[in-house]
A and B are shown apart, each in its own frame.
Chain A
Amino acid sequence: MVSTAENKTQYKVVGTRPIRHDGLEKVTGQARYSADINLPGMLHGKVLRSPHAHAIIKSIDISRALALPGVESVITSADLPQPSGRVADLGEGAMMNPKFLSNNVLASDKVLYKGHAVAAVAAADQHVAEEALGRIDVEYEVLPPVLNAVDAMKEGAPILHERLYTAENPFVRPGGLRDDSDPEGGSNVASHFVFELGDLEKGFAEADVVVERGFRTKAVHQGYIEPHSATAMWNRDGHVTIWCSSQGQFAMRDQSALILDISMSQIKVIPLEIGGGFGGKTLVYLEPVAALLSKMTGRPVKVSMSRQEVFEGTGPTSGSFMKVKMGATKDGRITATTATLIYEAGAFPGSPINPGVQCMFGPYDIANGRVEGYDVVINTQKTAAYRAPGAPAAAYAAESVIDELAEKLNIDPIDFRVRNAAKEGTRRLTGPVFPRIGYLETLEAAKNHPHWSAPLEGPNRGRGIATGFWFNGSGPSSATASVNQDGTVSLVEGSPDIGGTRAAVAMQMAEVLGLPAEDVHPSVGDTDSIGFTSTTGGSSVAFKTGWASYEAAQDIKRQMIERAAYIWDVSAEDVDLTDGVFHHKSDPELRFTFKELAGLLLETGGPIVGSAAVNPGGVGGAFAIHIADVEVDPETGKTEVLRYTALQDVGKAVHPSYVEGQIQGGAVQGIGWALNEEYFFDDEGCMTNSSFLDYRMPTSLDLPMIDTVMVEVPNPGHPFGVRGVGEVPIVPPMAAIANAIKAATGVRMTNLPMSPGEVLKALWDSEESKNSD
């Protein structure tokens, strides 16, 4: 369902639902993903991983492994250049201390989590490689691990990085190391910062009701179905080709170059189809390892992870400890809020604490507030970005407290949000002022949705809502498009396509040129074939690469108008393109369809190629509100989601089916996070549920249909009004479900996940406290 908020331009292609260009290859099994590469003479690599969460590597003896027939090479971090500990800005969103990046790929002096890569083998096949891993003898001195942020911040806690200092500025990337001459010791707190606005004391004094709560969430994995895999060939001239799937072929190139200490132009990364990423495929893991093994052996090497390795060796998102205090007046006006967020970064600095803090109170106009953030290292997997990094946990805390305030004041929870809603001109607690946004329109759509007024029949059932904000991203992006003589256009773009963005990007070009979507053929270029394009992340691709595609189309349009003018011997100013027809503005005889003119190009001056390289501003934030109905089984504590509706301001939905898909997928990841998913660790820091059997993601059987409502408040900062859509749908679900469980049971769940055992315990505790009253 599309809900139109205001009159808008009518488009011919944008807003329609063509079959995606890459669909056929994906339903027939022809599409090639990272592990689908098989090269002549290829060797298979495997990675040895640490059995300890925290230990010093005393020695590594590879001789017995090398002696195994079929083993061609064994590498350790000693074979990698050791980069400096100076923080480098390599790209958005992720920590980029080269030493940490390198040490996460292969540990040097210490292992910092169970599953940390220690060595790698290249062998004739993967079974031999696996056998060889058991013949690498590593001597460890085991150290006590620290497994949560609260313990890690205590005086006397085991220190992960002896030289790590605490950055005190939110805009400084954490992960800086002290010089060796500096006598100060290291800290597990990589970053600590505060945002403040207004007068807190005055704000809380004005409040009639104050709610204060603490929350705890656990690490959860992105859960993409495709395990990481990389294949590399180190050529004799020093140039390296890497085939892999990632969210950014340029990020893989640049990070690999940094770790291997070679020039980025020596590496060509060929992006294969990516089988899910959700933020988790933005960092290198295997790429430099495969490259180095290829260098050692002179043969192509493929290294693939098992599912267990994906869980134990790649980034989940942060667990968190959060405290929120919020006050409001009787008539439902928020007067002040404070929050402290402690995010667990895992073994290396760089949790998404900053975006978490920035998005936490995004939906609200709050005059007085203070938010404090901590980025803390612990002996678990180094975290990586996960869909709206940092925002979901923060929103879980904020939206639970807001629900409680509305409940105490006996105000409808949607009305309460309407009274405090951010709108154009509102200054966020963290500084920026909103341009035109569609939060109020989205709340209005929820209020009017039949779900909101439908009766909830039966016992143990409850309905909850929550809202969410994600600021959305942009970044450098490139597109090149060639006009074919048959009137179609071949478009090469730089953004790996995770969920249908080829279609969304091609459609924006088709719109400009007056072509059907099917006549623009999009493909994703390798790092030698297309200009630099920043990572597919931050809900940026339909926006930034859509914009590059729009500009490349304008370039084609301009050149084709000039060509028509040349053929007709008229001024280019008198020629225009309307609905796919080039025509003279005053002489109706002079007209070419796009296809007719395309067929004449070679004989009238040569081919036409349009290109664009952009780094657009004008990003528009996204808001969502979700409505969840649940039933809680009082015997087992199991929560069943009965009905779910997700409403969102999508700006302009370029391909509405794939926008719906993003909303549904994000909502369901959030439902998994809310109800089932978590990393379990034993006391030694070993993950005890590293399989899809024990790490329980939602299945088709666990869910109802996910209804979506696309509210369209066009982003004035984009030619077609596009806002990013992919991330904000994972922000509201945890609080929406927690609020629904509260409505169903009277119990407020302040820890994630709200698994059956946890809910049952909370129900029993609440019974006990009632009985003791």
Chain B
Amino acid sequence: MSKKIHVQTNINGLDVDLLCESRQSLLEVLRDVLNMTGTKEGCNDGNCGACSVIVDGRLIDSCLMLGVEAEGKEITTIEGVAYTHGLHPIQQSFLENAALQCGICTPGFIVAAKALLENEPEADEGRVRHWLAGNLCRCTGYDKIVRAVLDAGKTMATQSKSES
């Protein structure tokens, strides 16, 4: 058993202290150390996007980052997307557009969409398809996912206008 390292990080707005091995990926740390199993493993080599998380504002595959690299970072996972008293517009849009079937890729898609729409709520179909090309879905053929993300973008654009 290798020696464990103390890591201080921030996950979904909460400061977290954890111990992990230097060989453990952030994905493993989330799932196996912190029991945050909403982030999924589909390939463990950066090709499916099921483990998407946002680190310091940047969308990444958590299987490609080491847990120890989380030191001092701010991380958003699927568990941190919903509001305290309601769903995020992207989550709501996925439900209303029936944009999931088995649901295993859904957390990754929602996190990826969040990383896009928070900066570009008016992204068009081409941009959405390009952005989501790192997330594999085998059930839906992407049609309803793309529609859900476009719809959520409209909602978010309206919301940010009414807020400003």
Chain A residues in 8 Å Cβ range of B105: 225, 275
- Beta-carbon contact of A661 and B101 below 8 Å: yes
* Cross-chain contact of A703 among B35, B50, B142 (Cβ < 8 A): B142
* Cross-chain contact of A223 among B31, B132, B138 (Cβ < 8 A): B138
C-alpha spacing A223/B38, complex, angstroms:
20
Stretch of A393-401, A579-587, A691-699, A741-749 lying at the B interface: A691-699
Chain A residues in 8 Å Cβ range of B91: 27-28
Chain A residues in 8 Å Cβ range of B151: none
Across the interface, name the chain A residue whose C-beta is closest to B111: A29
Residue of B23, B36, B100, B146 contacting most chain A CB atoms (<10 Å): B100
Query: Does B45 interact with chain A (Cβ within 8 Å)?
Result: yes
- Beta-carbon contact of B139 and A665 below 8 Å: yes
Query: Does A135 interact with chain B (Cβ within 8 Å)?
Result: no
- Beta-carbon contact of A661 and B140 below 8 Å: yes
Query: Does A657 interact with chain B (Cβ within 8 Å)?
Result: yes
Q: What 1/0 flags go to B34-50 for Cβ under 8 Å of A?
A: 01111111111101101
Chain A residues in 8 Å Cβ range of B40: 33, 35, 225-226, 275
Across the interface, name the chain A residue whose C-beta is closest to B98: A657
Known contacts: A499-B101, A692-B136. The answer to whether A28 contacts B79 by CB under 8 A is: yes
Chain B residues in 8 Å Cβ range of A69: 1
Query: Does B77 interact with chain A (Cβ within 8 Å)?
Result: yes
Query: Does A594 interact with chain B (Cβ within 8 Å)?
Result: no
Chain B residues in 8 Å Cβ range of A703: 129, 141-143
C-alpha spacing A701/B128, complex, angstroms:
9
Across the interface, name the chain B residue whose C-beta is closest to A32: B37
Across the interface, name the chain B residue whose C-beta is closest to A707: B143
- Beta-carbon contact of A35 and B41 below 8 Å: yes
C-alpha spacing A697/B44, complex, angstroms:
16
Known contacts: A29-B77, A38-B32, A692-B136. The answer to whether A706 contacts B143 by CB under 8 A is: yes
C-alpha spacing A666/B101, complex, angstroms:
12
C-alpha spacing A251/B87, complex, angstroms:
37
- Beta-carbon contact of B1 and A226 below 8 Å: no
* Contact-residue size bin, chain A (C-beta under 8 Å from the other chain): 35 or more
Across the interface, name the chain A residue whose C-beta is closest to B105: A225
Chain A residues in 8 Å Cβ range of B45: 307, 691-693
Number of contacting residues on B, CB 8 A?
A: 60
Across the interface, name the chain B residue whose C-beta is closest to A697: B136
- Beta-carbon contact of A226 and B141 below 8 Å: no
Query: Does B154 interact with chain A (Cβ within 8 Å)?
Result: no
Chain B residues in 8 Å Cβ range of A193: none
- Beta-carbon contact of B102 and A276 below 8 Å: yes
Across the interface, name the chain A residue whose C-beta is closest to B39: A29
Across the interface, name the chain B residue whose C-beta is closest to A708: B143
Query: Does B115 interact with chain A (Cβ within 8 Å)?
Result: no
Query: Does B21 interact with chain A (Cβ within 8 Å)?
Result: yes
Q: What 1/0 flags go to B9-27 for Cβ under 8 Å of A?
A: 0000000000001010000
- Beta-carbon contact of B44 and A669 below 8 Å: no
CB distance from A319 to the nearest CB of B (A): 20
Query: Does B110 interact with chain A (Cβ within 8 Å)?
Result: yes
- Beta-carbon contact of B98 and A699 below 8 Å: no
Query: Does A278 interact with chain B (Cβ within 8 Å)?
Result: yes
- Beta-carbon contact of B87 and A27 below 8 Å: yes
Known contacts: A225-B42, A226-B104. The answer to whether A28 contacts B47 by CB under 8 A is: no
- Beta-carbon contact of B139 and A499 below 8 Å: yes
Chain B residues in 8 Å Cβ range of A661: 98, 101, 139-141, 144
C-alpha spacing A125/B146, complex, angstroms:
38
C-alpha spacing A499/B104, complex, angstroms:
11
Chain A residues in 8 Å Cβ range of B56: none
CB distance from B108 to the nearest CB of A (A): 9
Known contacts: A19-B95, A273-B102, A691-B47. The answer to whether A128 contacts B87 by CB under 8 A is: no
- Beta-carbon contact of A26 and B138 below 8 Å: no
Chain A residues in 8 Å Cβ range of B94: 23, 27
A-side interface mostly: loop
Query: Does B130 interact with chain A (Cβ within 8 Å)?
Result: yes
- Beta-carbon contact of B44 and A276 below 8 Å: no
Query: Which of chain A's residues 658-688 have a Cβ closer than 8 Å to chain B?
Result: 658, 660-662, 664-669
Query: Does A227 interact with chain B (Cβ within 8 Å)?
Result: yes
* Cross-chain contact of B104 among A33, A124, A699, A705 (Cβ < 8 A): A33
Query: Which of chain A's residues 263-321 have a Cβ closer than 8 Å to chain B?
Result: 273-278, 306-307
- Beta-carbon contact of B103 and A28 below 8 Å: no
Known contacts: A28-B91, A657-B98, A669-B138. The answer to whether A225 contacts B48 by CB under 8 A is: yes
Query: Does A24 interact with chain B (Cβ within 8 Å)?
Result: yes
Across the interface, name the chain A residue whose C-beta is closest to B21: A127
Query: Does B118 interact with chain A (Cβ within 8 Å)?
Result: no
Residue of B21, B48, B97, B134 contacting most chain A CB atoms (<10 Å): B48
Chain A residues in 8 Å Cβ range of B128: 700
CB distance from A593 to the nearest CB of B (A): 28
C-alpha spacing A20/B98, complex, angstroms:
8
Across the interface, name the chain B residue whose C-beta is closest to A19: B95
Chain B residues in 8 Å Cβ range of A278: 138
Query: Does B106 interact with chain A (Cβ within 8 Å)?
Result: yes
Across the interface, name the chain B residue whose C-beta is closest to A663: B141
- Beta-carbon contact of B133 and A700 below 8 Å: yes
CB distance from A37 to the nearest CB of B (A): 9
Chain A residues in 8 Å Cβ range of B98: 17, 20, 500, 655, 657-658, 660-661
Chain B residues in 8 Å Cβ range of A32: 37
Chain B residues in 8 Å Cβ range of A125: 1, 32
C-alpha spacing A20/B100, complex, angstroms:
10
C-alpha spacing A419/B118, complex, angstroms:
55
Chain B residues in 8 Å Cβ range of A223: 138
Chain A residues in 8 Å Cβ range of B136: 225, 692, 697, 699
C-alpha spacing A170/B98, complex, angstroms:
40
C-alpha spacing A658/B97, complex, angstroms:
10
Query: Does B145 interact with chain A (Cβ within 8 Å)?
Result: yes
Chain A residues in 8 Å Cβ range of B106: 26-27
Query: Does A196 interact with chain B (Cβ within 8 Å)?
Result: no
Query: Which of chain B's residues 117-164 have a Cβ closer than 8 Å to chain A?
Result: 128-130, 132-147
Query: Does A85 interact with chain B (Cβ within 8 Å)?
Result: no
Known contacts: A19-B96, A24-B87, A693-B47. The answer to whether A500 contacts B101 by CB under 8 A is: yes
Query: Does A224 interact with chain B (Cβ within 8 Å)?
Result: yes
Chain A residues in 8 Å Cβ range of B102: 224-226, 273-277, 498-499
Query: Does B67 interact with chain A (Cβ within 8 Å)?
Result: no
CB distance from B138 to the nearest CB of A (A): 5
- Beta-carbon contact of A29 and B142 below 8 Å: no
Query: Does A7 interact with chain B (Cβ within 8 Å)?
Result: no
- Beta-carbon contact of A29 and B38 below 8 Å: yes
Chain A residues in 8 Å Cβ range of B130: 701
Residue of A128, A274, A691 contacting most chain B CB atoms (<10 Å): A691
A interface residue numbers (CB < 8 A to B): 17, 19-20, 22-24, 26-33, 35-36, 38, 69-70, 124-125, 127-128, 222-227, 273-278, 306-307, 498-500, 655, 657-658, 660-662, 664-669, 691-693, 697-701, 703, 705-706
B interface residue numbers (CB < 8 A to A): 1-2, 21, 23, 31-32, 35-45, 47-48, 50, 77-79, 81-82, 87, 91, 94-98, 100-107, 110, 128-130, 132-147
Listed by A's residue number, 30 A-B pairs whose Cβ atoms lie within 8 Å are: A24-B95, A26-B106, A27-B106, A27-B107, A28-B79, A29-B78, A29-B107, A33-B104, A35-B40, A35-B41, A127-B21, A225-B40, A225-B42, A225-B136, A226-B42, A226-B102, A227-B41, A276-B101, A276-B102, A278-B138, A500-B98, A657-B144, A658-B98, A661-B98, A664-B143, A665-B141, A668-B142, A693-B47, A700-B128, A700-B145
Task: List the 10 closest pairs (A to B, CB-CB), nearest first.
Answer: A29-B38, A275-B104, A668-B141, A26-B103, A657-B98, A29-B78, A499-B101, A664-B141, A692-B47, A36-B37
